[in-house]
Structure 1
Amino acid sequence: MLINCRRKFLLLAMLVHLAFPSLVLGEIGPAMTGLNGHANDATTAFTCPAGITRLDQSEVVLQTTFVYEDSKFKVDDATFGGGDGDSDSSILAIPALYYVRPLNDRWSFGLSINVPSGIGYDFGNSWSGRYHVTETSLAFVAGSAVAAYQLTDKLSLAAGPYMMYVDSETQARVNNLIPGYPDGKVKLDESGTDLGFVLSMMYQFTDSTRMGLTYHSELKPELDGTPTFHNVDPLLREALAAADLLGTEVDVDFTVPAIATTGFYTELSDRWSLTGDVIWVDMSEFGITHVKVEQDSISADGEFRDMWVTSAGIKYRFDEDRAVSLGGLYATSPVKDSKRIIAMPVDRIIGGG
């Protein structure tokens, strides 16, 4: 089966705020730059925790990011009829919470709860790949609690536990054995959690230039769930029962890759500033590594490769409340074209803003 994929994302709006003391709007640079270097508000509790020592009072940031998704799959060649996948357009609301509290002149505490990543598709029930997948989603919810210490006037360090909840749902049609019998359906919901760690540092070269470095560890949540079958014919149901696949839990070893980020922020003058970031994602370790059903198990290799993201931006500030910025972002593809799978047809990313 040969498939072409088109996906477009549009950031519509950000930041829903409530009346909290010292509440500010999360600041990010153009094209998502400055994630490590800014450290101007509580969002740095996640992006570069060492930067929370720069905040001299408690802050809460509530964010809601609205993402518009437009997907279309075109089938060039397939074993089964049905044609292209359905167009899938939707608006997603992605919430986040960040909190920072200075404890004294040296120590600060930070908390973050967000949805750092997720992916999902609805192909429809009649497309050519319906016996492989009709609908799939993979969502991540992360939380961290960090302590940051200002070691010197220039250097700050931070560390803390980092937890992630992973939720996966996959649906597909079932090609029944009896001729003329309508398609059945199978659905598998799985979820799991794991605990890792986050390390961070920030170095202030001058009053106007600083650099941040952050590492989020690899996580290995064990996902489990029981597939449910609907409208399968008697012959297939008997075969599934004989293979002990009806009502049997499926255990999946899943790997969330480690992520290392570094970036800088520098003020060229009272009005001009530059930001830049480099992100490394250990995608070669990403995905399902082992599947177990009762006593039977198989190992899997997603054949992903490490992903690199670079971004840079420039900002001009008219006054304290008004500014204009421009930036660009490029992310390498984590998988070769020949190894791309339907459930995750990711490719390189080029962005601007």
Structure 2
Amino acid sequence: MIQSRQRHTCPGSLKVMITMIGMLGSSASQAAAFQLLEGNASGLGNAYAGTAAVAEDASTVFFNPAGMTFLPGRNVAFSVDLVRPKAEFSNQGSINATGQAGGGDGGDAGDWAAIPAGYMTWQLTDQIFAGLGVGAPFGLKTEYDSTWAGRFHAIKSEIKTVNINPSLAFKVSDRLSFGVGVNYQRIDADLTNAINTASLAGAGTSALGRIKGDDTAWGWNVGALFQLTPDTRLGVAYRSKLDYKLEGTARFSGSAATTLNAVRGGNVTADVELPDMATFSVMQRISDRWTMLGDVSWTGWSSLQELAVNRTDGVNVTTEELRWRDTWRVAFGGTYAYADALSLKFGLAWDQTPVRDTTRLPRVPDEDRVWLSFGVQWRPDTTSAVDVGYAHLFVKDASINNNGGSTAARGRLIGEYENSVDILGVQYSTRF
């Protein structure tokens, strides 16, 4: 475990936006592993197809900063996505840790979480545009009953991020735009599991181990938009890796806590490299009413091969083997202009997991998933829009057979997960 208003109002709006997102955080995972695609709600109805090409509101700051050149004047967008993952384990012959009784299936490890995001853009000149985004590109929360069969592997796993993303875009011509952004991101981790203390305090005894850590890191993102014809637009975007060295504490409570804190507790560190991501998108208008969207994206999850938590004196507290692989996501969607003020959206996507069957952990019981999305956009006037979207993610059943490195200490967790995700998003965007 590791274990727009007038210009003078923008600083105040930014402060409120950052505070709200920092308080709510992001602790629900819906994309592969613990990546979060919910950078807006306007793209949810399209299953986030075409994200690097759409540029329909200020959230393009995150998805492709070059899209700001399609937003004249000053623009803002605020969204909240409510995410409800389900992760239910079925025991299929798990082996108990030495000196320990078995346990239950852990209940539903998922729960509701809110993922907020906010964006602003400004047109500085005919060719130069600026923007700022605050969101949460990564997050995770799973929590099991404290007496479940896999308690020595995981009980609570929570990761939160907040990302601040100032950006600039340059309109080279009516057909070509470029954008670049800087990312300042904070991560917080809070992970717990039971510790088998049978050899120290007698059969059946256990302690609770908790590791908390945080850090900040810098990254960058770039993008380009190509308006090939009045009806065809291509977008490419790339977000860099982020290198973290989390610092925090390891603490133990319960049976033999004094001994555990002496030999494994104290100040700890962990190196984590969150992945880079590349996206290629297309937007094609096929009639006055129909616009089709598509994209292919790649995420470099192979940057996470293991997670080692060490005390500052070099003593290893715990190591989790991950051996994750790079992943692909393919999405297709469409928007139908039902009326001048009302558009209907749909989307379908396939999202590959980085998790291998041989190293699946109960902290991230992930598998491949298929998105089915619907949405509606209402435009009360020519400068504002309200988006509501819904997606259901059909997640493949995930098998697990893992002893966490020691069957005697942790037992061997054997079984299968039944997973799914529901997402409901709302967004308001406007131009001043």
1:340 aligns with one of 360, 364, 371: 360
- Whichever structure has more helix as a proportion of its residues is 2
Residues 39, 62 of structure 2: 8 Å contact kept: no
Equivalent-residue separation in structure 1 for 2:147 and 2:308 (angstroms): 30
Q: For 2:148, which of 127, 131, 136 is the aligned residue?
A: 127
User: Shift in Å at residue 32 of structure 1?
Assistant: 2.0
Q: Are positions 1:174 and 2:195 aligned together?
A: yes
Would you say the 8 A contact 2:201–2:255 is kept in 1? no
Instruction: Note the 1:47-66 alignment, pairs <5 A.
Output: 47-66=63-82
**1:345 and 1:239, CA in 2 relative to 1: closer, same or farther beyond 3 A?**
closer
Question: Residue 295 of structure 2 contacts residue 330 of structure 2 at CA under 8 Å; is this kept in 1?
Answer: yes
The answer as to 2:283 corresponding to 1:265 is yes
Report if the CA contact (8 A) 2:138-2:161 is conserved: yes
Quick one: which amino acid aligns to residue 64 of structure 1? Answer: V
1:37 aligns with 2:57: no
SS in structure 1 of the partner of residue 111 of structure 2: strand
- With a CA cutoff of 8 Å and minimum separation of 6, indicate the structure with the bigger relative contact order: 2
Matches within 5 A, 1:36-115: 36-80=52-96, 81-115=102-136
Q: 1:322 aligns with which of 342, 345, 356?
A: 342
Aligned positions of 1:1-353 closer than 5 A: 26=42, 29-80=45-96, 81-176=102-197, 177-179=200-202, 182-233=205-256, 237-238=258-259, 240-241=261-262, 243=263, 245-246=264-265, 248-286=266-304, 288=306, 290-296=308-314, 302-353=322-373
What corresponds to 2:14 in structure 1? none
Q: Relative to structure 1, is the Cα distance of residues 87 and 290 closer, same or farther in structure 2, using a 3 angstrom cutoff? A: closer
What TM-score comes out, normalization by structure 2 length?
0.72
- Kindly provide the amino acid, as one letter, of the partner of residue 343 in structure 1: R
**334-343 or 220-229, which deviates more:** 334-343
Do 2:110 and 2:142's aligned partners in 1 also have CA atoms closer than 8 Å? no
Residue 21 of structure 1: aligned partner: none
Distance 2:176 2:328 in 1: 26
For the Cα contact (< 8 Å) 2:124–2:130, is it kept in 1? Answer: yes
Kindly state the Cα deviation for residue 93 of structure 1 after the two structures are TM-superposed: 1.2
Amino acid paired to 1:274: M
- CA offsets per residue over residues 86-107 of structure 1, 9 Å max, x none? 2245221111001111101000
Identical residues among aligned pairs (%): 26
Cα distance in 1 for partners of 2:126, 2:321 equals 49
Measure, in 2, the Cα distance between the counterparts of 1:166 and 1:261. Answer: 23
Which secondary structure state, in structure 2, belongs to the residue aligned with residue 295 of structure 1?
A: coil
Contact 1:255 1:288 in 2 (8 A): no
Instruction: Answer whether contact 2:43 2:49 (CA < 8 A) is retained.
Output: no
SS in 1 for 2:125: coil
List alignment gaps of at least 5 residues for structure 2. 1-27, 31-37, 97-101, 374-432
User: What is the RMSD of the two structures over their aligned residues, measured on CA atoms?
Assistant: 2.5
The answer for unaligned runs of 5 or more in structure 1 is 1-6, 17-24
Q: Contact (CA 8 Å) 1:46, 1:112: kept in 2 or not?
A: yes
Say which SS state the counterpart of residue 50 (structure 1) adopts. Answer: helix
Alpha-carbon distance in 2 for matches of 1:302, 1:168? 17
CA offsets per residue over residues 300-324 of structure 1, 9 Å max, x none?
7521111100001122211122222
Q: Structure 1 residue 283: deviation in Å?
A: 0.7
